[in-house]
Amino acid sequence: MKRQILLHVGSPKCGSTYLQQVMLKNRAALLDRGIHYPKPPGNHPGNAADLQDIDAARLTTLFEGQTHTVVLSHEDLYALPQHGKALADLAQREGISVQVIAFLRPFSEFMFGDYSQFMKQHFEPWLSARNPYDGLDFDAFTRRRAAMIKPATYLRGWARLFPEAPPVIASHRAIRATFEGLLGADTGIDWEVNRNLTNPSLRMEDCDAIAEAMRDPQVNPSEIRALLRAAFHRVTDSDAGKTQARIEMAEQAFAPQNAALLRGFGYDNRRA
């Protein structure tokens, strides 16, 4: 059987942590079937953050034993196709096929997750400066992100590196179907993962409330930290912050990106 690498590159906030946790949970069973998900070196469940440093010795190690398929995954690779150059050169030399995989979601949904992720990642600096989202409201934050994110450009970069097969682009809701199609539905993968392990997004209304409290000098930092802790316990509750106006604004802001994806890859990422 020809050796292959399934290279999942993201996008962030599109089920990456879920997929990685599934691979980790089933790692031993998959290895028995010749499918290797290398153990991540740190606490992050993704195992390809250092892909740019891969060399021939490490590639050989990945395919030790009866391994015929290696699964590599990290969402930070999405905008960094240049980090795949070393793998592209080695794979071509060794006759290993590489299939790039990307999962997307409508940008209005993505922005809700992105808004949450920024709050979680930048909470302490923002609290210290009392300046959440660098002073931007959700609309301005979304327009700034739309000016920065270029999915079709990223995917073209990955496609150029691995021209043997076009990138597989699918909805974040099709992670299971996509990987069962690539690995086989008979692999016996257990797709159930504890939600707490999948980096669930905070509700928009909680992010808004935390941001408002940060901007108010009368609110004690300990109270704001308590708001954040409480928000983690409400991620499955209904969310009044996901308004139709915000959805429509985000879809409009990302219309050029959607057009580029449709034109370049035939993939329609617009909200249904």
More confident residue, 201 or 196: 201
Average of per-residue pLDDT across 116-120? 98
The predicted structure's pLDDT at residue 272 = 85
Asked if 187 contacts 7 with a C-beta cutoff of 8 angstroms, the reply is no
Query: Could you tell me the pLDDT band of residue 24, with boundaries at 50, 70 and 90?
Result: very high
Q: How far apart are the C-alpha atoms of 70 and 133, rounded to whole Å?
A: 39
**Per-residue pLDDT reduced to its tens digit, 169-187:** 999 999 999 999 999 988 9
> Is a pLDDT exceeding 80 seen at residue 1?
no
Strand arrangement, sheet containing 69-73? 35-36, 69-73, 4-8, 97-104, 168-171
Q: Degrees (nearest 5) of the Cα angle 119, 124, 127? A: 85
Percent of the chain with pLDDT over 90: 96
Average of per-residue pLDDT across 151-163? 98
> Is a pLDDT exceeding 90 seen at residue 98?
yes
> Is a pLDDT exceeding 90 seen at residue 192?
yes
Average of per-residue pLDDT across 107-113? 97
Average pLDDT over the chain, rounded to an integer: 97
**Per-residue pLDDT reduced to its tens digit, 32-86:** 999 999 999 889 999 999 999 999 999 999 999 999 999 999 999 999 999 999 9
